[in-house]
Structure 1
Amino acid sequence: MNPQNHRTIDIIQSRNSRFMRSYFLSHYSKKARWSVKIVVVDLFEPYRNLIHELFPKAIIVADHFHVVVQAYRALQSVRLKVMKEYGANTHEYRALKHFWKLLMAKEGQLDYLHYYSRRNFEHARLSNQEVVERLLNFSSELRTAYEYYQDLITAISHHSQALLDQLIKRNNLPNAIRRVKRTL
């Protein structure tokens, strides 16, 4: 795809490395391949190896969709870790299991106007936003992962280089989130 006008240049028939190598070698000269400056791809490992081989001067940039997916999975991983730490027969485990979708939602889209009786919180009347806050109080590691995920999706949706730069500089992150940070 042409990044300037978003027009499709070609659709390659296979993800197979051998096929792709053959395709690029037969369709583009060495000079053309060496003049490529940026290649945007998903995080599929064989792609990166192939790009280094065929486009040696290109910078590899991860597709933002795949970075968000990786962050989503990392937040889920931290949530599951916290659940296991509490144990299956605890209030915290059940709450984290039941309300997982609220943790994955965009923070700005959480309902804070409507209150519902929440059996996981002794039938307290809570908004979705208040439920998320209570879930985050279970673990500082979960809170850190959640805030990083929320900042990442905000940075990408607002095309904020400044916020992305802050995310890159952030330290003291859970292991799962550190892997996401390395893709930025």
Structure 2
Amino acid sequence: MEQLKNTTELIGLKDKNIKIKTVFKADTHITIEASLDYQPPLCPHCKSQMSKYDFQRASTIPILDVQGIPTVLKLKKRRFQCKGCRRVTVSETSLVKKRCQISKPVRQKITQYHTEKLTNTAIAKRLHLSVSLVQRQLEAFTFKEDLTRLPEVLSVDEFSRNKGQLAFIAQDFETRKIVTLLENNPQTTIKNYFYRYPRAVREAVKVVTVDMSGSYIPILKQLFPKAKIVLDRFHIVQHLGRAMMSTRITIMKSFDKKSLPYRAMKNHWKILQKDNRKLSDKRFYSRTFSQTLTPKEIVKKILDLSDEFRYYYELYQLLLFHFQEKNTDHFMALIDDNLPFVNPVFTTVFKTFKKYKSYIANALELPYSNAKLEATNKLIKDIKRQAFGFRNFKNFKTKILIALNIKIERTNLILSRC
């Protein structure tokens, strides 16, 4: 923690050569008049001694707000003239870069607001700057790619970037730091990127987590030959849930719309989708059955209405049980035993599971998933939504890397000090 010694440091003017003369407060802003002066240095051109010449016309430099009021610094800079070559130079300060009019604290504040997922327009409005300046500050960021290392656990996925176009994202599972963002997700693009890494680096990747998209798995085995591929557990359960919902709707529509089975399956669909071990014991009034029941009692009544639905419901619950208990053998055996008897929807799901049997086994045995990457995708969607979309993918990529990678580094630094 740094001790602030006077008022100038309190408002961000840490250069001791800046002397405040007067301060004016108007209805809309505060103006601070100051001068920059120090002993003449050597000439940067001929190294002769320089002498004080005069003051330059006051520069208007935006600084951070004082008491929530927009504040500008009217700074007169001392000019020096060389006694040898007679050239004139202007004094410099750490407050602003050479030939710039925006103070460094303001530029740092722009970066801070970028990490908070604010739009360029919102940042410009808060700091009383032009949108183009905020955009230039965004474009000034460069992120170097380290082609000498890859994380041991890598998560990959895609997200929508613009009008149905998909972009590819890879993230470090442990640190949540983004490894790369690619403008599109064809296999050729992904291969060309990762083949820039030496084979030894790619072989150091031990685990790759991915959703059930069939387009990624074949190339992941080529790119990371020694890595175990882990399917995201959420997507496995999601496939089962969608198959169960589709089956319920099909069976429901076989009854008359005014009949009790139709109304019961339609009105209590959420209870039927749930894991029966998580059903509440709390009683509530069911309009369908015209009595007060618990969710478990409702399920029992619905199963008594249709033997076909009972079969699929019990199969669905058994699959959920073995999956959550991580019984890989029982889970796959149940699929093999029931594959000849299920409807086309469940047949498609079961065949997909058999195709990815080893990857599902990895998902049940290893503690990795795509959950962290899905959370990152949610933040990316928030950035895109707040900015009403990005036409330029480079700006979109920079915004994401600032908002996520820089923020993660700062957060980890703070936590390490606790």
Same fold (TM over 0.5): yes
1:52-86 Cα shifts (integer Å, max 9, x gaps): 44335555331111101111111111111111222
Q: Does 1:10 align with 2:174?
A: no
| Farther off after superposition, 170-179 or 2-11 | 2-11
> For residues 79 and 30 of structure 1, what CA distance do their matches in structure 2 show?
49
1:150 maps to what in 2? 317
Query: Residue 172 of structure 1 is aligned with which of 294, 319, 338?
Result: 338
Alignment of 1:17-166 (within 5 A): 17=186, 18-26=188-196, 28-33=197-202, 36=205, 38-56=207-225, 58-116=227-285, 118-121=286-289, 123-157=290-324, 160-161=325-326, 163-166=327-330
Kindly state the Cα deviation for residue 35 of structure 1 after the two structures are TM-superposed. 6.1
1:94-144 Cα shifts (integer Å, max 9, x gaps): 21111100012232232234242x2322x1332111111222334444334
> For residues 177 and 30 of structure 1, what CA distance do their matches in structure 2 show?
40
- The root-mean-square deviation of aligned C-alpha atoms, in Å, is 3.0
> For residues 311 and 229 of structure 2, what CA distance do their matches in structure 1 show?
28
> Structure 1 residues 64 and 90, CA, compared in 2 at 3 Å: closer, same or farther?
same
| Farther off after superposition, 17-26 or 29-38 | 29-38
Kindly state the Cα deviation for residue 47 of structure 1 after the two structures are TM-superposed. 1.0
TM-score (norm: length of structure 2): 0.37
1:22-48 Cα shifts (integer Å, max 9, x gaps): 22112x323444565543210112112
Contact 2:303 2:309 in 1 (8 A): yes
1:2-32 Cα shifts (integer Å, max 9, x gaps): 4498333634314612432222112x32344
Contact 2:322 2:330 in 1 (8 A): no
> Structure 1 residues 60 and 91, CA, compared in 2 at 3 Å: closer, same or farther?
same
> For residues 53 and 142 of structure 1, what CA distance do their matches in structure 2 show?
43
Structure 1 gaps, min length 5: none
Contact 2:322 2:331 in 1 (8 A): no
Higher relative contact order (CA 8 A, sep 6+): 1
Contact 1:64 1:156 in 2 (8 A): no
> Counterpart amino acid of 1:136?
L
- In the alignment of these two chains, the number of paired residues is 178
| Farther off after superposition, 6-15 or 89-98 | 6-15
> Counterpart amino acid of 1:68?
V
| Farther off after superposition, 124-133 or 5-14 | 5-14
> For residues 53 and 87 of structure 1, what CA distance do their matches in structure 2 show?
53
Contact 1:42 1:63 in 2 (8 A): yes
> For residues 260 and 174 of structure 2, what CA distance do their matches in structure 1 show?
49
Structure 2 gaps, min length 5: 1-150, 155-172, 361-418
Q: Larger strand proportion, structure 1 or 2?
A: 2
> For residues 301 and 338 of structure 2, what CA distance do their matches in structure 1 show?
22
> For residues 99 and 140 of structure 1, what CA distance do their matches in structure 2 show?
17
> For residues 13 and 141 of structure 1, what CA distance do their matches in structure 2 show?
47
> For residues 81 and 106 of structure 1, what CA distance do their matches in structure 2 show?
21
**% of aligned pairs identical?**
31
